[in-house]
């Protein structure tokens, strides 16, 4: 898995000379690029189309709400903040082109709202070479093993943790034989290995089949899965291929437990297929910190009464980037990198949940402990989120019904 992401990162570096012909401006260190007057620019590089297109608009909306609130409070370092929005199309090639523009033309200090692991891996080398801070919702384990020099941090739990949660949940449903169906993604192997570890620790068995996500039917893949005699099937894909797969599962007559990522079996999918196709499917996702001051503020500020996990994470990423620059006294990616943990988890720091609260506390010379809409934003040295809660839901009568948050 690390080799896969490292290879993708290297390929993205090799493509830079070709992409640079359209934007022939050199990459410069962030400290050299950061002007000390005029607007401070941060970016939202989110999936406004493609497999993640259902989430990108709300992620951008959350980031924009933070920028507007910061400007209403007087800006960062006395300067206006501008948000530059680009569509990564849930596609690494498109993301690299957009990231070059954000670095070379827009000269952003940070990029937030990056959703897909493949996109994060592709743009990460551009970010660490230019000194641009990358804040992402991508979960592939190997991302934080890249040589990112601290210029990458994620609010999404890694797939080691997610895989264990999937395996434990399958066991809780009485499954002993678990089969995972997934396209090739940067996280599939780690996800499966941790599912398998949890299942095998309780005497069960697990098997994986990786499929082509562009196929019009997965009947042959399902036949192979059913020969394993699974009690539970884990759906590891994105919305387009999962939509095809759940229809084929119904035709194949599988009536065991089905468990999916919440970003694939979402309300959009549920409403696009016959009711019996998805009835009873379980979904798992990192849970927003519902009931927290930050969550309540975000729903009011962004006008989103029931935000998804990626929107709450994007909201927190924007708050963290802006408060880190204010605390550092410099508007650069390097300043964010060096100050991130000082404002997110300072021992004894003043707990804040909004950019307005944070700016006021910094003005008084206080250390900060930012508690976000997605949960405690505490990061390891590698850039992983230290902990979070998970949300378990089930499709019942055409609606996702909450089972528990734990």
- Predicted confidence (pLDDT) per residue in 252-303, tens digit: 999 999 999 999 999 999 999 999 999 999 999 999 999 999 999 999 988 8
Tokens 């994470």 sit on residue: 313
Query: What is the total count of domains within the chain?
Result: 2
Residue 49 shares a structural domain with residue 195: no
Structure tokens at 340: 């991130």
Residue 139 shares a structural domain with residue 262: no
What is the edge-to-edge ordering of all strands in the sheet holding 133-136?
81-87, 40-46, 110-114, 133-136, 152-154
Per-residue pLDDT reduced to its tens digit, 183-234: 999 899 999 999 999 999 999 999 999 999 999 999 999 999 999 999 999 9
Residue 120 shares a structural domain with residue 8: yes
Task: Give the range of the structural domain holding residue 197, as residue numbers without chain letter.
Answer: 159-288+389-405
Residue 348 lies in a domain: no
- The more confidently predicted of residues 33 and 234 is 234
Residue 218 lies in a domain: yes
DSSP state of 77: T
Per-residue pLDDT reduced to its tens digit, 51-110: 999 999 999 999 999 999 999 999 999 999 999 999 999 999 999 999 999 999 999 999
Residue 151 shares a structural domain with residue 17: yes
Contact in structure between 166 and 208 (CB atoms under 8 Å): no
Specify burial of residue 397 (Cβ count, 10 A radius: 0-12, 13-18, 19+).
exposed
Percent of the chain surpassing pLDDT 70 = 91
Residue 371 lies in a domain: no
pLDDT value for 15: 45
Beta-bridge mates of residue 226: none
User: Is the pLDDT confidence value at 30 over 90?
Assistant: no
Average pLDDT for 129-144: 96
Residue 328 lies in a domain: yes
CATH of the domain at 199: 3.40.50.2300
352: part of which helix (H) or strand (E)? strand 350-352
Angle, in degrees to the nearest 10, between helices 293-301 and 309-328? 100
Residue 152 shares a structural domain with residue 167: no
Residue 150 pLDDT grade (very low, low, confident, very high; cuts 50, 70, 90): very high
Residue 165 shares a structural domain with residue 244: yes
Residue 350 lies in a domain: no
Determine how β-strand 232-235 pairs with β-strand 257-261. parallel
Average pLDDT over all residues of the chain:
91
- φ, ψ at 96 (rounded to 5°): -65, -45
Which residue blocks in 182-284 are alpha helix, DSSP H? 188-200, 219-227, 239-252, 267-272, 275-278
What is the edge-to-edge ordering of all strands in the sheet holding 399-405?
205-211, 177-183, 232-235, 257-261, 282-286, 390-396, 399-405
pLDDT value for 18: 38
């Amino acid at each position: 898995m690390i080799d896969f992401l490292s290879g993708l990162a290297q390929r993205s570096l090799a493509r830079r000379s070709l992409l640079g012909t359209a934007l022939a401006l050199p990459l410069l260190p962030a400290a050299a690029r950061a002007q000390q007057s005029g607007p401070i620019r941060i970016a939202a590089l989110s999936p406004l189309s493609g497999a993640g297109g259902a989430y990108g608009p709300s992620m951008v909306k959350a980031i924009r709400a933070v920028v507007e609130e910061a400007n209403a409070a007087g800006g960062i370092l006395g300067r206006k903040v501008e948000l530059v929005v680009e569509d990564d199309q849930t596609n690494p090639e498109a993301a690299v082109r957009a990231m070059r523009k954000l670095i070379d033309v827009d000269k952003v200090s940070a990029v937030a709202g990056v959703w897909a692991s493949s996109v994060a891996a592709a743009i990460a080398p551009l970010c660490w070479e230019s000194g641009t801070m990358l804040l992402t919702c991508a979960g592939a384990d190997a991302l934080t093993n890249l040589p990112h020099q601290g210029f990458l941090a994620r609010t999404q739990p890694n797939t080691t943790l997610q895989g264990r949660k999937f395996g434990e949940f399958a066991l809780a449903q009485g499954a002993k034989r678990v089969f995972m169906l997934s396209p090739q993604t940067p996280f599939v192997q780690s996800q499966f290995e941790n599912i398998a570890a949890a299942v095998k620790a309780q005497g069960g068995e697990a098997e994986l089949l990786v499929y082509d996500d562009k196929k019009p039917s997965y009947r042959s893949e399902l036949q192979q899965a059913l020969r394993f005699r699974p009690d539970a099937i884990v759906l590891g894909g994105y919305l387009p291929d999962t939509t095809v797969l759940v229809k084929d599962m119904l035709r194949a007559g599988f009536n065991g437990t089905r468990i999916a990522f919440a970003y694939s079996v979402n309300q959009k999918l549920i409403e696009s297929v016959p009711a019996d196709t998805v009835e009873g499917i379980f979904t798992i996702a990192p849970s927003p910190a519902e009931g927290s001051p930050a969550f309540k503020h975000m729903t009011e500020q962004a006008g989103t009464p029931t935000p998804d996990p990626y929107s709450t994470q994007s909201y927190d990423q924007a708050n963290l980037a802006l408060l880190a620059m204010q605390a550092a006294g410099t508007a650069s990616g390097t300043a964010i990198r060096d100050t991130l943990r000082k404002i997110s988890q300072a021992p004894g720091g003043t707990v804040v949940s909004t950019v307005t609260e944070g700016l006021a506390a910094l003005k008084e010379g206080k250390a900060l402990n930012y508690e976000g809409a997605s949960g405690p934003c505490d990061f390891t040295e590698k850039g992983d989120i230290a902990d979070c809660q998970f949300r378990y839901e089930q499709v019942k009568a055409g609606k996702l019904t909450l089972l528990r948050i734990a």
